[in-house]
Each structure stands twice: as structure tokens, then as C-alpha cells.
Amino acid sequence: MIVEICGIDGSGKSTLIDNLRGRIHTESPCWAYERVFRFRTKRFMDWIAQSEGEATARSLFPNDTVQLAQAFDLVEEAVREFHYDTMDSRQVYFVTNYRASGLAEAYVAASALLEPMTKVYALAPVPALLLYLKLPPEDALARIQARPQGDQLLRAASPLDALTSLSGAFEYVIESTTYPHVTLDATMPAADLAECAFDAIQQVNTHLVAAF
């Protein structure tokens, strides 16, 4: 089964996935994985841009072109990766940069391609569950600034404005999501957040309630 976890930067997606994987492995007969999409065309576009003396693909190519390339890359890889996936599988795949995230980014950019990109993302395998980590942008920025490695978002002219725009976009996307989805308060402690997320996943996969 596919579980999509989305939210603005700093909302705790990686921490939640780590906690859920550990719990699934110790408390159920299931296996949990994190699947990261490579966006190969976007990487190729970055390489072309850098060979022309630009920093990233968006410095050389129209933003709509980059986002559409990412959408096609994601769908192609997801269809190939999850071809044999079933809703009640004993394998749980966690994904972050997936359907909701792609649509939220397109919404922020006010892309003219938002409608066609929605149709492209609709071709990706549907998650059994979408978990949205809701966090105030101010809290997210404080978390990002506290990270030892920093974050690319901090290079934005106004990181808080960027987070606020993305937060609003996620609210729009979540409201229009038709498959099972749950909004979680990402301000709660990591252990409590993992508990709520695990309970939500149990509701859609009965294997997770089976004991060894």
C-alpha cells in the first residue's frame, strides 16, 4: 500500500516516516519502505542549465516546463514502481514528493498548466492514505533555521512568505482530495504524531493490527 505524507518544509515528514517504519517492523508482520523519486528529467535540465552557467533548471527553463517535466517523471516512475501494489499489501511504501506535493507546488506558482498537471498526476497510483502534517509556517521556519544543515528554502527572498503560500496551497489540495486523507497536528510531540499516524494507517490496512 502507498501512504503519502505531505506538508510544508519543517513539518516533520522524515521524522514521522522513520518512527512509523520502526513501529511497523516491530509491531506488525509488515515491511515498510520509503520511496524517493529521482525526477531524472529535472536533473538533466539542471545539468544543462549549469553547463550554461546557470544555477538550476528554473534559471534557464520556464517554471511551467520544469514542473511539467517533474509531473511526467513522477508518474512514469510511480507506475513502474507500484505496478504490483495492492491496498491491503503487507508492504507499506511511504512517499513524500508525490501527488499532493506536486499539485501544491503548481498551485503556488499559479501555473497555467495546473489543470493539465492535475490530469497527469491523476495517472499515478492512488495512495491508500494521505497524511497531511499541518504546521503553522512560523513554527516550520523556526525548525528549518535550527537545522544544522540549513535548507534551500532559506535562500528565498522571504522564507516565511514562501512557507505561507505553500501552506495555503496544501490546504487547497487537501480539501479537493477524493481518496482517504487525514490531517494531523504537526505541533504535537513526534511520538504522539507517530501514534496518530499509525492509528490512521491501521484503519486502511488490516495486516497492521496482526500480531506476530
Q: What is the pLDDT of residues 42-91, one digit of tens each?
A: 999 999 999 999 988 989 999 888 889 999 999 999 999 898 877 777 89
Print burial letters for 1-27: b (CB count within 10 Å at least 16), e (below 16): bbbbbbbbbbbbbeebbebbbebbeee
Helices (H), 61-189: 63-81, 99-108, 114-121, 137-146, 159-175
Predicted pLDDT of residue 116: 86
- 6 or 63: which carries more pLDDT confidence? 6
8 A C-beta contact, residue 104 and residue 170? yes
From the CB of residue 169, how many other CB atoms can be counted at a distance below 10 Å?
A: 21
Q: Is the pLDDT of residue 212 over 50?
A: no
Instruction: Report strand pairing: 2-6 vs 181-185.
Output: unpaired
Top-ranked range on mean pLDDT: pick from 52-66, 111-125, 132-146:
132-146
Question: What pTM was computed for the model?
Answer: 0.90
Predicted pLDDT of residue 183: 98
Tell me what the mean pLDDT of segment 179-191 comes to.
Answer: 96
Tell me what the mean pLDDT of segment 130-140 comes to.
Answer: 97
From the CB of residue 137, how many other CB atoms can be counted at a distance below 10 Å?
A: 21
Q: Is the pLDDT of residue 41 over 90?
A: yes
- 103 or 157: which carries more pLDDT confidence? 103
Tell me what the mean pLDDT of segment 165-192 comes to.
Answer: 95
Q: Is the pLDDT of residue 207 over 90?
A: no
- Say what percent of the chain tops pLDDT 90: 67
Please provide the DSSP assignment of 110-128 as one string. T-TTHHHHHHHHTTSPPPS
Predicted pLDDT of residue 137: 96
